[in-house]
Structure 1
Amino acid sequence: MKVENYDVVVVGAGPGGYVAAIRAAQLGLRTAIVEKSELGGICLNWGCIPTKAMLRSADVLRLMRQASQFGIKAAEPEPDLQAIVARSRKVAAQLQRGVGHLMKKNGITVINGHARLAGRGRLSITSGSAETHVAAKHIVLATGARARSLPGLDAQADSVWYYREALTPSRLPKSMLVVGAGAIGIEFASFYHALGVEVHVVEMADRVLPVEDAEVSDYVAQALRKQGMTLHLGSGIAGKQRHAGGWNIKLDGTGSKEIDVEVVLVAAGIVGNVEGLGLEGTGVRVEKSHIVTDSYGATGEPGVYAIGDVAGAPWLAHKASHEAMVCIEKIAGLQPQPIDVNRIPACTYSHPQVAHVGLTEQQARDAGRPVRVGKFPFAANGKAIALGETDGFVKVVFDADSGELIGAHMVGDEVTEMIQGYVVATELETTEAELMHTIFPHPTQSEAMHEAVLSAYGRGLHY
């Protein structure tokens, strides 16, 4: 049997895998990538990108409904679900083709099939009944993760949705229970509520978006309730009964009650794709469905690495891509800087949007750090008022001794585009002095970022 030899073989072509392959090729390493499904992985095809396309449609719908506030006369808009879905799938398909072009441009061999370790430096790849083998000095596992399934709630196109069903609905239900109030759950809740669905959200934690700063979580919860969503926090599913019209769900905890909904949408976390990789008998260690690595992606098995969602939290596409570059550059003999998780931004594209980088106020206090906290509401920002987008605020957390910016938290319109300013600041270990001295353009929503810094030191100007 002929065995092709490579310097690097990447397993999985998501935002971690395909970036790893590109960087390896750039560094002159003979590279192949194995993907059993679609180039771009879940993120591009069934996650980050198509959800944002659908949420954009929801944003347009909201804005059109508010047209009269801007002096515009327009007929009452109606969502066209199938057109929204079709646009979302078209966007994903366009980007998938783009990844294919990047593989070709960089001279990367693309192999379709399921790969598993087959001895030191070897992979067996199956596609249908065919099996091939490849050899590589370095094997990078970037197999990603999948939605955590719940017992008794298997995916059903008519009544139980996970992300795939939620992205390709054939109908718009009248009512829905979203299980999980993390970023994915709240994004889907925002989308379907905008289209007129009665939305309930159940969450075991006592607040929505539990990883966010408590003030941000509280603000989002108030906003969602004001929009008309029903939140069942500190609650779980105690019982469920399928009936002709959907589901009868019994909730326990602080929100004990029964509700009837047409569809249950499950967004209760993710599980790493570690099965079928041939990890048995190797030095690769798995904990809670995720592969354990060092700060450069190396596992306990020589020549085997893992990056992205399969390597653990935070489960973010941009974290996977950056891990890919760090891993490959280390393989190539360079000296990359390991990722500092406190400098990885996170965004939720709900309505309102949420973004953060660094420590929450509570995390900083729990770590024993003296803090200075500043806040500024968009209601006092000229550009936000002109846009009619005055909900939300910017919050910053500084180390009181050194003045270093150690956390930034935002909720409001397009804050996911604004957070990068603070991300750069944290990477540069910026203090309040540099941020105060920085000139922010007027009129922009970003001025709220400057004002929040000033507020932390008692120098706020416009609030």
Structure 2
Amino acid sequence: MRHYDCIAIGTGPAGQKGAIQAAKLGKRVAIVEKRQVLGGAQINTGTIPSKALREAVLHLTGANHKGHFGRTKSRVSEITIAELVSFSQRVIRHEWDVIRDQFDRNGVDLLWGKARFTGPNELAIDGPGGEERLSADRFLVAVGTKPARPASVPFNERTIFTSDEVLRLNHLPRTMIVVGGGVIGTEYACIMAALGVQVTLVEGRNRVLGFLDQEIADAFQYFMRQQGITLRLGEKVERIEEVEFVNGSTHQLVQAKLESGKTLRAQTLLYAVGRQGVCSELGLANVGIEFDDRERLEVNQFYQTNIEHVYAAGDVIGFPALASTSMEQGRRAICHAFGCCDVTNYNTSLFPYGIYAVPEISMVGKTEEQLTAEGIPYEAGIANYREIARGQILGDELGMLKMLIHQDTHKILGVHVIGTGATELVHIGQAVMALDGDAEFFVNNVFNFPTLAECYKVAAYNGLNKLNHVYSGTCEAVSVSL
């Protein structure tokens, strides 16, 4: 029986980074993958393909710059899913090569097969050559999740499908119902709308992306409606079925019956309500680890399960379930497991969130609603892209950056961006917040011109000018103007 210092289960972002971190600490490491491809959902069905698809759509349709440059969607009728998928597949194949090379260079043993715990420190790997038994001192469970597929929904992978099957569509539908207003649902709704598909999005809550700052979420909903997306908010789907519809000729359509009595029909339906874990396949009972009804694991601040030598990271531990956070969770878990790196001085509340919809959205830190609930006094500084030369050049006059500033200390409490480059732009605010910076940092520093980074300077001026009125006449008054 081969023995390792650490075995990671799953080659998604958490497993990758965790295994490589362990190898860099001089440990003997193996990583197990049950599929025939590397990278998990991140590479094969989630992050990379959906973002590559988005970029292909924006490039082919000119959706990002239509208002400024007069681009139209005249080419959309010529675009096929096959064209878009071919672009995604090139990116995916490249990422496979990158991951394999990283494992090879760091001496990580890659094992193909399904892993199952047979004891506290033992795994059985059911691979192409039969079953093999392995032992390890520590384990990192990074098996990810899969789209939820309720038995009541008649999935057929042609007209009723999950995000895993979107890339396999052999044609571009004219109409689509998207059930679920989370990250996956809103991203695909925007991508399809950019292609000219008539999209109706159904969400049980009263707004999409409920974790966002409300002002940003409201702005995003406005943009979605401007793209022609119909939003059915506060609505729940009661039944989904295929029906025949006669209108001159007979058509097969998907019908969604809502609890409110409304009936929606479209050629296709994307079901994007939640994701389901796969922990039931891992034999965790043999270790004494329990999982919840969605097969997710509970961990402490060090990413340990209730069994101290078994760690878990990535989507399998739940929110935020982003590739970026999963990578860092996997790395930190291994650092703690071997006690070789001090990561306690990094603020986990400063993980950024990125939504690759049209337009992009990103945030770091607190929302206005959280600050109000916690009784923290703040002011909001706003910079609209239409005020920024770079925004004008890019043709994005609707984007916005919002900076939340503590009323007393002027420390940055949160940064929220919607518009072109949001997921890149947010990292400036993240860095300043991590270094305990204040709004004056942006006022007193120079930014390249013209850039979207200037938004930080404008937002700082805007917020401090508001605070100048609050503290007028005191020694703490801020004398700034724009």
Secondary structure, aligned partner of 1:146: strand
2:387 to 368, 374, 380: 380
| Residues 87-143 of structure 1, C-alpha deviations (whole Å, 9 max, x = no match) | 112211210121111111111111001111111211111125811111111111111
2:317 to 308, 311, 317: 311
| Residues 37-73 of structure 1, C-alpha deviations (whole Å, 9 max, x = no match) | 1211111111111111110111113327967954889
**Aligned match of 2:291:** 286
Distance 2:221 2:101 in 1: 42
**Cα shift at 1:75:** 7.1
Secondary structure, aligned partner of 1:259: strand
Q: Does the 8 A contact of 1:68 with 1:74 survive in 2?
A: no
**Cα shift at 1:294:** 1.6
1:41 aligns with 2:40: yes
Q: Does the 8 A contact of 2:62 with 2:72 survive in 1?
A: no
Further displaced range: 429-438 or 330-339: 330-339
Q: Does the 8 A contact of 2:10 with 2:32 survive in 1?
A: yes
Further displaced range: 36-45 or 327-336: 327-336
Amino acid at match of 1:369: I
Moved over 3 A (4+): 64-78, 338-341, 459-462
Distance 2:73 2:195 in 1: 18
**Aligned match of 2:118:** 118
Q: CA 1:319/1:60 → structure 2, altered by over 3 Å: closer, same or farther?
A: same
Q: Does the 8 A contact of 1:61 with 1:194 survive in 2?
A: no
Distance 2:339 2:332 in 1: 11
Amino acid at match of 1:59: L
Distance 2:25 2:430 in 1: 27
**Cα shift at 1:281:** 4.5
**Aligned match of 2:473:** none
Alpha-carbon RMSD: 2.1
Secondary structure, aligned partner of 1:328: helix
Distance 1:31 1:129 in 2: 20
1:54 aligns with 2:66: no
Amino acid at match of 2:278: N
Secondary structure, aligned partner of 1:280: helix
**Cα shift at 1:385:** 0.7
Between the two proteins, the alignment pairs up a number of residues equal to 458
Distance 2:204 2:70 in 1: 43
Q: Does the 8 A contact of 1:395 with 1:408 survive in 2?
A: yes
Amino acid at match of 1:298: Q
| Residues 15-50 of structure 1, C-alpha deviations (whole Å, 9 max, x = no match) | 000111111111100000000012111111111111
Q: Does the 8 A contact of 2:179 with 2:271 survive in 1?
A: yes
Distance 2:326 2:72 in 1: 46
Q: CA 1:66/1:279 → structure 2, altered by over 3 Å: closer, same or farther?
A: closer
Unaligned 5+ segments in structure 1 are none
Q: CA 1:86/1:301 → structure 2, altered by over 3 Å: closer, same or farther?
A: same
- 1:9-158 counterparts in 2 under 5 A? 9-37=7-35, 38-63=37-62, 70=69, 76=75, 78-127=78-127, 130-158=130-158
1:170 aligns with 2:170: yes
Q: CA 1:350/1:35 → structure 2, altered by over 3 Å: closer, same or farther?
A: same
Distance 2:208 2:73 in 1: 35
| Residues 231-284 of structure 1, C-alpha deviations (whole Å, 9 max, x = no match) | 00011112333214121212235xx52111111101112222211111115332
**Cα shift at 1:359:** 1.0
- 1:29-428 counterparts in 2 under 5 A? 29-37=27-35, 38-63=37-62, 70=69, 76=75, 78-127=78-127, 130-244=130-244, 245-253=252-260, 257-288=262-293, 289-338=295-344, 340-428=347-435
Distance 2:290 2:324 in 1: 24
Q: CA 1:64/1:409 → structure 2, altered by over 3 Å: closer, same or farther?
A: closer
Query: Please, what TM-score do these two structures have when normalized by structure 2?
Result: 0.90
Query: Please, what TM-score do these two structures have when normalized by structure 1?
Result: 0.94
Distance 1:68 1:350 in 2: 17
Distance 1:65 1:331 in 2: 45
Distance 1:261 1:71 in 2: 30
Amino acid at match of 2:25: L
1:437 aligns with 2:436: no
Secondary structure, aligned partner of 2:369: helix
**Cα shift at 1:224:** 0.9
Distance 1:57 1:377 in 2: 27
Q: CA 1:66/1:316 → structure 2, altered by over 3 Å: closer, same or farther?
A: closer
**Cα shift at 1:333:** 1.9
Q: Does the 8 A contact of 1:178 with 1:265 survive in 2?
A: yes
Distance 1:333 1:75 in 2: 58
**Cα shift at 1:5:** 0.7
Secondary structure, aligned partner of 1:315: coil
**Aligned match of 2:248:** none
Q: Does the 8 A contact of 1:360 with 1:407 survive in 2?
A: yes
**Cα shift at 1:285:** 3.5
Q: CA 1:322/1:73 → structure 2, altered by over 3 Å: closer, same or farther?
A: closer
Q: Does the 8 A contact of 1:356 with 1:408 survive in 2?
A: yes
**Cα shift at 1:76:** 4.7
Identity %: 28
Q: CA 1:274/1:72 → structure 2, altered by over 3 Å: closer, same or farther?
A: closer
Q: Does the 8 A contact of 2:65 with 2:394 survive in 1?
A: no
**Aligned match of 2:4:** 6
Distance 1:282 1:452 in 2: 52
